[in-house]
Amino acid sequence: MNLKLRLTILSFLQFFVWGAWLITISVYWFGTKQWGSEDFGKVFTTLGIASIIMPALTGIIADRWINAEKLFGILHILYGITLCFLPTVTTADNFFWVMLLAMMFYMPTISLSNSIAYYILKNNNYDVVKVFPPIRVWGTIGFIVAMWITNLTGNKASGNQFYIAAVIAIILGIYAFTLPKCPPQNLIPEKASLSEKLGLNAFSLFKDYKMALFFFFSMFLGAALQLTNMYGDIFLSDFGKIPEYKNSFVVERSTLILSISQISETLFILAIPFFLSRYGIKNVMLLSMFAWVLRFGLFAYGVPVGIGLGLIVLSCIIYGMAFDFFNISGSLFVETTTDYKIRSSAQGLFMMMTNGFGAIAGSLASGWMIQKYFTLTNGDKMWHEIWLVFAGYALVIAVLFAVMFKHEHKPEEIAAVNH
């Protein structure tokens, strides 16, 4: 089988096994189990906790002792086995611990899948810059297909969504063992300090005011990144409680509507070079922050019919700009402003602040806030107010970033990275 096709399958399945439940878990949690918002927030911290702890540890293992493709396969098999226990869990507390274990196995495979693809492509004389992006796009397509399958099979409120992900994860784990070997590269010197091995030397960047400011804003924006993943599907599904919307397409096929967000994400990637070269890194990050304001604000006024439906669809389209523009321009900022000796560690720190500490803070704070202030006595959520609060939060972050963060647009920086 063609190598690019084999890596495309890898990318597709890598995100399929996440997309099968990530967007629809809220419907299962609130609709089927009827557990609380605060506990739901805790469950989503598992992604952040695993993002902080596991990638560095598995990176060391892959660099020193075990072939990357074998480690990847083992982790996915363990992830799939762990997912099989989730539908049998009867308490929110136990669900947290099982999900934490599942995320400990899954989250490091995201970076491992990239490492495997890079190694195989380079080892076979492919141009990684040209060949990898089209392969990676199939990961997003896999995520979308999984969302559609979960919804169209009637499992968005069912524990079967975890079984769907589990079966494919185990198949992916077995498939990984058939890939070309990716042996340890022993890139970490034996005499390296523990902080160097774990990539913690990048924390020295906090001594620089500008970098520290950037990382803190990354954390605050990271708190917003998972909010629509957490609450988007249950928000749309809850319209089913209103008689006039009960049988609407939005309620019955809410996951399909939300998949527009992922489709938009793939398209906005193509627009990033134009915006970066024309407006610069800071302004592209600002566009992302204001896009988050619109993402949440449009949801606040959306309904399943008429103009309200248009607002929901527009919110999903804007998600692509909100998500891509910050993640990619932020990564580019790190690439162009840090010393090459700690650049990989600095990129890891950027991801740690957004997907780690930021995601944990956002999950806990949103869960507590919704439970305490925006949940009625009958358990219904005050979605209009919830989305307005989220929009207000994103607006404050955007304004503060515009005023406090100073960065001069240098087109040559963009050109240097592209070449």
Residue type, 56: A
Query: Are 262 and 376 in a shared domain?
Result: yes
Query: Are 375 and 247 in a shared domain?
Result: yes
Neighbours of 209 (CB within 10 A): 9
Query: Are 29 and 177 in a shared domain?
Result: yes
Query: Are 333 and 273 in a shared domain?
Result: yes
Query: Are 117 and 249 in a shared domain?
Result: no
- In eight-state DSSP terms, residue 353 is I
Query: Are 223 and 296 in a shared domain?
Result: yes
Residue 86 lies in a domain: yes
Neighbour-count burial of 191, counting CB atoms closer than 10 A to its CB (0-12 exposed, 13-18 middle, 19+ buried): exposed
Q: What is the DSSP string of 5-42?
A: HHHHHHHHHHHHHHHTTTTTHHIIIIIII---HHHHHH
End-to-end CA distance of the chain: 31
Q: How do residues 92-124 score in pLDDT, each as one tens digit?
A: 999 999 999 999 999 988 878 888 888 888 888
Residue 194 lies in a domain: no
Query: Are 122 and 246 in a shared domain?
Result: no
Neighbours of 190 (CB within 10 A): 6
Residue 105 lies in a domain: yes
| Phi and psi at residue 395, to the nearest 5° | -65, -45
Domain containing residue 284: CATH number: 1.20.1250.20
**pLDDT digit of tens for each residue in the chain (419 aa)?**
699 999 999 999 999 999 999 999 999 999 999 999 999 999 999 999 998 888 767 767 766 788 888 999 999 999 999 999 999 999 999 999 999 999 999 998 887 888 888 888 888 888 876 788 788 889 989 999 999 999 999 999 999 999 999 999 999 999 999 999 888 766 556 566 666 666 566 677 888 888 899 989 999 998 888 888 889 999 999 999 999 999 899 999 999 999 999 899 888 887 887 888 888 888 989 999 999 999 999 999 999 999 999 999 999 999 999 988 888 888 778 877 777 666 666 777 888 888 889 989 999 999 999 999 999 988 899 999 999 999 999 999 999 999 998 877 565 555 544 44
Query: Are 98 and 219 in a shared domain?
Result: no
Domain extent for 111: 1-186
Query: Are 161 and 216 in a shared domain?
Result: no
Length of the chain: 419
Residue bearing tokens 């799939």:
80
Residue type, 407: H
Residue 195 lies in a domain: no
Query: Are 171 and 257 in a shared domain?
Result: no
DSSP-derived 3-state class of residue 381: strand
Closest listed residue to residue 151, CA positions, set 331, 48, 25, 8: 25
CA distance 22 to 43: 11
Query: Are 156 and 223 in a shared domain?
Result: no
DSSP-derived 3-state class of residue 375: strand
Alpha helices per DSSP H over 226-352 = 227-237, 249-252, 254-300, 306-337, 343-351
Q: How do residues 273-313 score in pLDDT, each as one tens digit?
A: 788 888 888 898 999 999 999 999 999 999 999 999 999 99
Which residues, 6 or more positions from 378, have their beta carbon under 8 angstroms from its beta carbon?
Answer: none
Closest listed residue to residue 135, CA positions, set 1, 12, 20: 12
- Residue 199 Rama label (left phi>0; alpha psi -120 to 50; beta): left
What is the number of alpha carbons within 13 Å of residue 180 lying toward its C-beta?
17
CA distance 61 to 185: 10
Q: How many domains does the chain have?
A: 2
Residue 305 lies in a domain: yes
Residue 197 lies in a domain: no
Query: Are 311 and 358 in a shared domain?
Result: yes
Which of 186, 215, 241 is the C-terminal boundary of a domain?
186
Residue 191 lies in a domain: no
- Opening angle at CA 206, ends 348 and 281, nearest 5: 65
CA distance 151 to 254: 8
